[in-house]
Amino acid sequence: MSLTTEQLEAITGLLLRSLPGSNPLPALRSEMQGISIAGCDAEDMRGETPFRRLPTFDLFLVNSATRCWSLVADPGEASGVIVAARGR
């Protein structure tokens, strides 16, 4: 499964509407069923390049087709996202 432009825009929109310090993961999981969604602190992703950098969150794409997730840059290869919160 790959992520569509519409799905990525919906994820981005929800993250942009989320207040700093809030947890957007429950809303994302509810709205984006079938997509693997994980969260972490941005410090946990240091050294990695996000797919999108938003005011409060970094968005990373992952291929979660196997047991071990891997970061990917191409939405066509992505089956999930990691939302990394900044400035907590």
**β strands within 1-68, DSSP E:** 36-41, 52-53, 57-63
Instruction: Please give the distance of CA 62 from its chain centroid, rounded to a whole number.
Output: 8
pLDDT band at residue 88 under the 50/70/90 scheme: low
pLDDT, residue 31, reads 94
Q: What is the per-residue pLDDT across 31-56, written as a single tens digit (0 to 9) for each? A: 999 899 999 999 999 999 999 999 99
Strands 36-41 and 80-85: parallel
The two tokens of residue 18 are 């989320």
The pTM of the full predicted model, rounded to 2 decimals, is 0.92
